[in-house]
Structure 1
Amino acid sequence: MNSGLYPALYAPTDGYVFVVTYGRSGSTLTQSLLNSIPGYCIRGENGNIPYFLARAASITNSWDNYVWRRADKIKPASEQKPFLKGIIGTPSDPWYGAENTDPTHFCKSLMDVFARDILRIPEGTKVAGFKEIRFHEDAKFFHSYMQTLRDHFPNARFIFQTRNAEHVANSSWWGSRPRETVLEMVNMADSLFREFSLNNEGICYTVQYEKYAEGYGYVLDLCDFLKEAPNKEAIESVLCKRLRH
């Protein structure tokens, strides 16, 4: 039924992988390694579009005026909240129609459009996904955001990429930001990554950028997490290629 209602979202046969990180963590290397696996299509950044979709879905799922009306709609009038009696489902209700929302369907529909029009997943893709450096920017919503992806993308898995905070701060890409601000951001993001990983064992894996220097051997654990057979030649070809962005 899900594949019929949300064809783009359910198109990848083996689900999704999300690379969660911050700027100048070396995540484009991880993106390239994942795309060297046959059947993988891991897109680059998209401006954190799913964050805004998750925010919209969260409103219908958790705001009181939606929750109250969905709950009271099916109750006898005698059990409804006093201020809702006699108005649910009528034009007299200032939230007329809110009682009919289906948060799960709404969210999956939004993510289906995202998969269709932004990811544009090629036919025959086994695993789709994307990498993004902005997941952590709303720290208070981070865990809800990750849970939304986990719950609405089939077989969702997360690769959290970290890098030494000092090395990140040394990048000219962060030149316009105070050094202490960058260090604080990296430490905060790493803390969010660790907490979500601890609460979602089995679907999370952490990459330490500096360890890519160990070569092929370090990537083997990532392949094991993904349950993919490693291709030494393909992996070494990616690791040896200098990125130019």
Structure 2
Amino acid sequence: MKALIRLLVVTLVPLTPLAAQGFGHMADPSAAEGAPAAGAEVPSTPLSGKVVETANMGGYTYICLEKDGKKVWAAIPEAPVAVGREISLKPGMEMKNFESKGLKRTFESIYFSEGVAVKPADTTGKSSAGSKANVVSPTEKISVEKASGPNAYTVAEIHQQKGKLDGKKAVVRGKVTKVAAGIMDRNWVHLQDGSGDTKKGTHDLTVTSQDLPAVGDVVTASGTLRKNKDFGGGYKYEVIMEEGSIKP
């Protein structure tokens, strides 16, 4: 992280080409009022909360996070981030009164982060961000029409035919009920379509993907199914879709 801070300061000093892209125009960010000097210690607590606003500019994604009624701005290397989802970012260096010409606004306070935080592996082996223990039980009736095509299945059908479908391509349509981002360099998306048994856990399918849908979105996911997948650290799945492509 210290190396990132030094790099950030060095690249921001010479106005071009970064200033032309809209990522500030200060001759020396470390001289900005209240900004920490290069090499300053970075807070250890990750930035987290609900994404309420985003903007892309100059190769960066600006994110406004809200938690417990408080809002904070952060900037990460450009990435798809959906409004409405919960997210945690790696700790970042705070800069005060930072002006972005591209966005035509001045941030009273903003944190520069390397990106989405990686959750430490669960060493207990009992639960994880994607394990059955953390599957969301629906609080309302979910009814999503089955995807079309020869490789289309409902969530229940995938669980029922997991042996036959192991290693095969599949397509499933469902509602996003949970998203765990940036864990083991991928995002873990839980889909439900109203089929399956909530008591047995066959109503939920986890999809790993580089895409980041928001909770509540109805999407179509396509990828490779795997049965009895164990990633270690408590990440165990009777069936999972890997390297999924998730589209509206």
TM-score (norm: length of structure 2): 0.24
Which is richer in strand? 2
TM-score (norm: length of structure 1): 0.24
Which is richer in helix? 1
